[in-house]
Structure 1
Amino acid sequence: MAPPRFVNREKELDMLRLQFQRDTADLSVIYGHRRLGKSALVREAIDNIDNAVYWQATGETPEAQLTNFVETASEVFPIVADIQRDWEALLRALGREDAIVVLDEFPYLIQSDDALPSKIQRVWDLQLEETGMTLVLVGSSISIMEDKVLSGGSPLYGRRTAAIDLPPLSLADARQFYPTDDPDTMIQYWGVFDGTPYYLRALTQSASLAENIQSHILGTWCSSQ
């Protein structure tokens, strides 16, 4: 049996979808350790929504990031292709469209342009706050997200309308990925693989616990040495 594509996160999905439906501006922050499914969560939340732009930043130059963002956003809002390559101008244009904009791996953007949170604060205060736009900032670098987005010293402090510190899946949800129905073996799987979706989805459904440990833990560790 194939593992499920997406499990639970109903509370987080409800929170995001409620913001998407509102006529007011919303700024959401999603953070947490890697491999917990933050990207999967936001993609699930915007599934079948026509006015949503999902874009994942990389470690490229600021110019390359802007170009890549415009290419992605213009597939949903063609008008963006004619906008100046500047984050404030682009977000202002998308705000006029009441767009949902997800900036995934936001710490990469901050690392390439430390002034970006200040730029977003300015355009948010002057224009976006009066629109129906939803801006979602997603990041796995907890130190950067806390320092540059969430803390009292951040330019964006006081602007966010929701924050999700995404936890691992519970045992009740993680068990859906385990290739066994035996309660004792499930507990053993939980002790080894915990509730991290990335590792749970990688489990080989036809293999034993020992074989999965060999393949996905010991094998990975050995290949990295």
Structure 2
Amino acid sequence: MILKPGHVFARDAEWSALSRFAESTAPSTRLGVVSGRRRQGKTYLLNALTEALGGFYFVAADDTETEGLRRFGEALAFRSGGGGQYHFDNWDQALDRLYATVQDGVIVIDEFPYLAKASPVLPSLFQRALDPGGTARRSAAKLLLCGSAMSVMGGLLAGNAPLRGRASLELVVNPMDYLTAARFWGCEHDHELAVLLHAVIGGTPAYRHELVYSDAPSSREEFDDWVVRTVLNPMVPIFREARYLLAEETDIRDPALYHAVLGAIASGHNTRGGIAGYLGRPSTHIGHPLTVLEDSHLITREQDAFASGRFVYRIAEPLITFYESVMRRTWSFLERGLAEQAWAASRSGFLSQVVGPHFEELCREFTIRSSLELFGELPAQVSSGTVPDPSSRKSIQVDVAALTSGEPGRPARLLALGEAKWGKVMGLRHLDRLRRARDLLAVRKYDTEGTRLICYGGAGFDDDLRTAAAADGRIVLVDLPRLYGQAS
């Protein structure tokens, strides 16, 4: 494998995939597609790969076709070492010259959706070049098409798209997981700070340096000041980043509507009916915005663990949740430089509406990562769920539910039920809720014989709950040190 440069933090799996693709000698290995939302480090990775192997790197811009061809000709002429500029009348000519000029290494075309927008025929031209007898066969170079517009990149290899079946690599560069992000920010031993930071900026690498002047809080006590001087500061680039994330998606033509949908989800109205009711619209009117946001990887859809027809939507980018829950509501104050006042008014809502749900998401991720340790097997589903309680005419909201797949003639096994609390010390009342949910699910014919009851406590557990857990191995306590892979 090509040695990963020391300046590339983590991303071992992504680098390994790129290396295998670039070093492959198979004649059919000629095209790779790399996608991911902006600021995830795609360009950083591909630049490092090009420097290691040689080749050609071109970053597209939002140009007309003529302007794109002109800039491409300039870059290719510079790569050839001859100076000047190649003049192309169309992309057929440009691709012929590309593969005649670049004979080995990698060809990276970054922000490819811009080129495809101005020249919709371009994917078909690449298909023809890559097919047997095409111009790409004259060169040993591998082609990597890269882009941040997720809906466009996802369509390159889908359905009847021209490039379907041609790619040997389809790599999505996702945000870093919460454990890696804590190491990246240097707070892997300050677990409370790690959760708070991740609830604001998630695992996006660029939010650590470029967009905040490499400003990072050194302790939990400094977190509030850091929020005020960076994320809520109009003079710091990250201030408007959440708005830009939405504006960059080409399929989003009515930003106000999409912000309203995201705002509804951020405020806890995360079912289709709940979103529609919050917006005062029929549910049929929000189907398209939800689909576009999901295709853009800005939201995810999760099936309720215990109701097959019920789905909940979650915002995939923590910074958008923070913007919708905190910044959008106090925007007029923030633009006037009143960040301290805005944060003072928003901080309690931040803890309940942002950190609380985000902590639940981290607990679900922990459960997936630790499933072999917890259950000795891999669950088929880990999600939240709703359990109706007929006696109280209410429902019990289960933050974490882990289930196996149901086998023919046998009920699905319930591996675990979990409750997560960020700011409250957990006690027996939380355990009793889980016990009640387990008993109700047993009545519904779930196999609950070995079900573990897990309490995830951001603020810890009282003595009674610790005593109960010590007496029953099926009761599991997960505190912040355990969440971050350290012994409690």
Report the TM-score range of the alignment, normalised by the length of the smaller protein.
0.7 to 0.9
Cross-structure match for 2:170: 163
Aligned with 1:116 (options 99, 112, 122): 122
> Is 1:216 paired with 2:230?
yes
Distance 1:179 1:67 in 2: 44
Equivalent AA in structure 2 for residue 213 of structure 1: V
For 2:135, the aligned partner's letter is: Q
Alignment of 1:182-197 (within 5 A): 182-197=190-205
For the pair 1:49 / 2:53, whether they are aligned, the reply is: yes
Identity %: 26
Write the distance in 2 (CA, Å) between the matches of 1:105 and 1:223: 31
Q: Aligned to 2:34, which of 26, 30, 36? A: 30
The Cα shift of 1:78 comes to: 3.6
SS in 2 for 1:211: helix
Give 3-state SS (helix, strand or coil) of 1:150's partner: coil
Amino acid corresponding to residue 76 of structure 2 in structure 1: A
Q: Secondary structure at the match of 2:52?
A: coil
Match of 1:65 among 51, 64, 68: 68
Out of 178-187 and 117-126, give the one that drifted further.
178-187
Is the partner of 1:144 in helix, strand or coil? helix
1:179 to 1:100, Cα distance in 2 relative to 1, 3 A: closer
2:61 match: secondary structure = coil
Quick one: higher RCO (CA 8 Å, sep 6+), 1 or 2? 1
1:153 matched to which residue of 2? 160
CA deviations over 1:129-161 (Å, ceiling 9, x no partner): 4642211111111111122x1212211111111
> Match for residue 39 of structure 1?
43
TM-score w.r.t. length of structure 2? 0.41
Q: Quote the Cα distance in structure 2 between the aligned partners of 1:134 and 1:107.
A: 19
Name the counterpart of 1:135. 143
- Tell me how far apart the structure 2 counterparts of residues 145 and 114 of structure 1 sit (CA, whole Å): 13
CA contact (8 A) 1:57 1:108 kept: yes
- Give the SS at the match of 1:76: helix
Check if 1:144 corresponds to 2:152. Answer: yes
Cα RMSD between the aligned structures? 2.6
Instruction: Tell me the CA shift for residue 82 of structure 1.
Output: 4.7
Runs of 5+ unmatched residues, structure 1: none
Q: Which whole-Å CA distance do the structure 2 matches of 1:65 and 1:204 have between them?
A: 37
Contact 1:36 1:166 in 2 (8 A): yes
Matched to 1:28, the amino acid is G
One-letter code aligned to 2:183: Q
Q: How many residues align?
A: 220
Check whether the contact 1:53–1:101 (CA below 8 A) recurs between aligned residues: yes
Partner of 1:174: 181
Give 5+ residue unaligned stretches, structure 2.
1-5, 234-238, 240-326, 328-333, 337-488
Query: Residues 198-209 of structure 1 correspond to what in structure 2 (within 5 A)?
Result: 198-201=206-209, 202=212, 203-205=214-216, 208-209=222-223
CA contact (8 A) 1:29 1:136 kept: yes
Amino acid of the residue matched to residue 212 of structure 1? Answer: W
Alignment partner, residue 8 of structure 2 = 6
* Counterpart Cα distance in 2 of 1:72 and 1:176: 37
Contact 1:107 1:145 in 2 (8 A): yes
Distance 1:10 1:158 in 2: 26
Please say if residues 67 and 85 of structure 1, whose CA atoms lie closer than 8 Å, have aligned partners that are also in contact.
no
1:56, CA displacement in angstroms?
0.9
